[in-house]
Amino acid sequence: MRKNRIILLNDIFDNDISGQTQDSLQDLDDDTFNNLHIEQQEKSNKKYEVKMISTNNKYTFWSRYMGPYAVASAVHQNCPDWEVVVIDWFTKIDHFHDYIANFINEDTYYIGLSTTFLLNTFNPRAQDFNLWFTRQRQVDDWFNKIKEINPDIEFILGGAITDLFYKIHFKTRPEAKFPVAFQNHINYVFNGYAEDTMVEFLNGELEPQKVHEKNGIFFINETKMASTGAKVLQSNYQHSMAIKNGEWLPLEVSKGCRFGCKFCFYDIRGTLIKDADCLREELMYNYENFGVTGYMLTDDTVNDSPAKIDMLHKVIKSLPFKMEWISYCRPDMFSKYPEMWRKMIDMGCKGVFLGVETLDHTAGKLAGKGLDPERMKEILTWMREVAQDDVFILASMIIGLPGETKESLYKTAEWFKEQTVLDKIQYELFFVSDGNDSKSPAFTGKPDNPYGIHLEYYPNYYWKHNSMDLHDAQFMALEWEKMLIDHPKTAFERHFSYNTNFWAYPRLRSLGYDHLESVGILTAKVVPQEVYEKNRRWIDNYHTELKLINHVKSLQQEEMLA
């Protein structure tokens, strides 16, 4: 039976430049821009001693991520008239339009773009809608070339930036115009979790109150969060997704987080956990069909309760294979529940992204991470003692939280210099929003905020609070880099300059490197060229296989052949 087709395009666009955004870049001519791009790239390479083999760094190690596959699974299970094709790593395809033409015929109605990780760091603002390009006309051209293949195709946007557009165009500045390419090409914008709304949309069952229209563009809003009715569904990977045997995949065990840290943008009003039987069934299905034994858990905090760790332990230990996984994790939970760490290791934990954020007590208490820093240091040391070399341990830090000072940050860096327990430290500069978004964190630039935060967006993004400002934070980031760049064990980098970040671990495992090799690559000063090349070959093979499985002919062509 012929089915209607929707294509989801999914990728994390990599560019390891400087992590800075610069308004002035918009106005440069192409040659100047390209030269600057290369210059920044070289500077970055020198600084991190990382060797790139391409100026746009298309070779870093990202895995599939959950969102589009959760939507695809929901459509597969609930929309009998529709088939979904997910094209992952799509920005890495040479001659993309020639490639995607193989997937499109008259039955192809929609192309959905998952925008969460499609931001080029050269773009000053996400709301300019330059996506992974740097010029609006390039974005416009990209859409136009797809319309040359099938002029009736409609475009759907999903992912993280949709909320930004909804907020601007329906709340703060309804009079604002959409960017040219957005107005010319986008038909629907899915805001929030889309597993249900996409199914309702394709089945023609959308409730009218979820739909808001402006200038002919329809915004479809899902108001459900983890605590208010969103679901944690069993994923349903298909052979048509060209999953490689033994590939590490994303796995959703729970949605939302119950901690409510004040700097956090996630769904922080509560958590919802997958049913144990459902989880086991899913793990068995993936194992039997694709040989999958490795996962990155998408949970905001894997160890948010002993009950959840117990459930996971019971399920994972009952499997007929040895499962391995990595996840976000809160180290402070081990202060009260140390047994969770041993259980996590026992059930195959190979990596933890620890939200440490600060080692200053005042800043920690204000942010909602209030464990005494001395206790935190003890826990980090103890975690390494228990785990030995079996777990990749990364601490994530924020530079510039309210309450933090230059002195406290020097003190933190001194401890980082001395310790030998962390494989990697990554940091990001404190970011504060204007607080107009209902999901925004408690640290906001609202005039009445209790932290003395002052926020400016124009002409440049800038904040200050009672103990630091953005420039102090930028200065301290450089100080940390100077102090930690030659650490004998711990690699140090900015999240934004994520050539080899935490989420590269599963990718390396998918490429066939074992645990120790992967940790070695992720903490090395120089990533061996062969790793980039192996990754590139893997992605090329995936695209070839995906095309072989999912290519279609135009219906006219088929009729002529019949």
Residues binding ligand SF4 (CB under 6 A): 257, 259-261, 264, 266, 268, 300-301, 330, 355
For β-strands 294-297 and 324-329, DSSP reports them as parallel
Which of 42, 50, 54 lies closest to 17, judged by CA? 42
Smallest gap from Cβ 344 to ligand SF4, in A, equals 16
Residue among 232 and 268 whose Cβ is closer to ligand SF4: 268
Backbone angles phi, psi at 329, to 5 degrees: -155, 145
Smallest gap from Cβ 368 to ligand SF4, in A, equals 6
Residue in this structure with the two tokens 């001194």, named with its chain if needed: 414
Smallest gap from Cβ 158 to ligand SF4, in A, equals 21
Smallest gap from Cβ 55 to ligand SF4, in A, equals 34
Residue 456's H or E segment, with its range, is: strand 454-456
Provide the token pair at 411.
Answer: 């003190």
CA angle at 6 for the pair 256 and 293, rounded to the nearest 5°: 50
Smallest gap from Cβ 337 to ligand SF4, in A, equals 15
Residue among 280 and 365 whose Cβ is closer to ligand SF4: 365
Q: Which residues contact 161 (CB under 8 A, 6 or more apart)?
A: 115, 116, 119, 126, 127
Is 504 strand, coil or helix?
Answer: helix
Smallest gap from Cβ 254 to ligand SF4, in A, equals 11
Which of 108, 99, 215, 101 lies closest to 153, judged by CA? 108
Residue among 86 and 261 whose Cβ is closer to ligand SF4: 261
Residue among 329 and 504 whose Cβ is closer to ligand SF4: 329
Residue among 260 and 452 whose Cβ is closer to ligand SF4: 260
Amino acid, res. 515: H
Residue 339 burial (C-beta neighbours within 10 Å; 0-12, 13-18, 19+):
exposed
Residue among 1 and 307 whose Cβ is closer to ligand SF4: 307
For β-strands 249-251 and 254-257, DSSP reports them as unpaired
Which of 349, 333, 377 lies closest to 253, judged by CA? 349
Smallest gap from Cβ 126 to ligand SF4, in A, equals 20
CA distances (Å), origin 20, targets 17, 35, 44, 120: 8, 17, 12, 11
Residue among 258 and 384 whose Cβ is closer to ligand SF4: 258
Residue among 124 and 250 whose Cβ is closer to ligand SF4: 250
Which of 267, 256, 262, 260 lies closest to 444, judged by CA? 262
Residue among 226 and 521 whose Cβ is closer to ligand SF4: 226
Smallest gap from Cβ 325 to ligand SF4, in A, equals 17
Smallest gap from Cβ 328 to ligand SF4, in A, equals 6
Q: Which residues contact 562 (CB under 8 A, 6 or more apart)?
A: none
Cα 20 from Cα 16, distance rounded (Å) = 10
